[in-house]
Amino acid sequence: MKVRWLVNENFPAPSVAVMRASGHDVLSIAESHSGDNDIEVLALARKEGRWLVTFDQDYGELLFARHYAPPPAVILLRVPSYRPEEPAGWLEHLLREPNGLSGKFTVFTGTTVRSRPLLH
């Protein structure tokens, strides 16, 4: 499965570069939609069929408490400290998850992975 990524404004540029060099289709909010609010970012991910990657915990509330329509997948990275190129490797690792990530809200802490189905 070829994933099309949408990385939020807080995703480090060095990781975007690593992912693109590895052949991934990555749209960076920081590069092309800087200043979009979270609802606009969700809508863009949904419209373009992209998996949203973010460090912003607000997306859980938008999707589960406020019931905004989800994109194909959301990955919340909750790692407190890291080198700027590390998130690219985390996403490569997560793509190997045995139960898959499509249709899920996944939280990655650096050591654990938790997923729950997105409500459509």
Question: Residues 3-24: pLDDT tens digits?
Answer: 999 999 999 999 999 999 999 9
- Cα–Cα nearest to 73, from 35, 21, 120: 120
Lowest mean pLDDT segment, chosen from 30-34, 65-69, 98-102: 98-102
Which value, to the nearest 10 degrees, does the dihedral of the CA atoms of residues 89, 90, 93, 94 take? -140
Q: 3-class secondary structure for the chain?
A: CCCEEEECCCCCHHHHHHHHHCCCEEEEHHHHCCCCCHHHHHHHHHHHCCEEEECCCHHHHHHHHCCCCCCCCEEEECCCCCCCCHHHHHHHHHCCCCCCCCCEEEEECCCCEEEEECCC
Mean pLDDT of 14-41: 96
Q: Domain map of the chain by residue range?
A: 4-117
Q: How many residues comprise the chain?
A: 120
Antiparallel, parallel or unpaired: β 104-108 and 113-117: antiparallel
Q: Please say if the pLDDT value at position 1 is more than 70.
A: no
Distance CA 72, CA 49 (A): 6
**pLDDT above 70 covers what percent of the chain?**
99
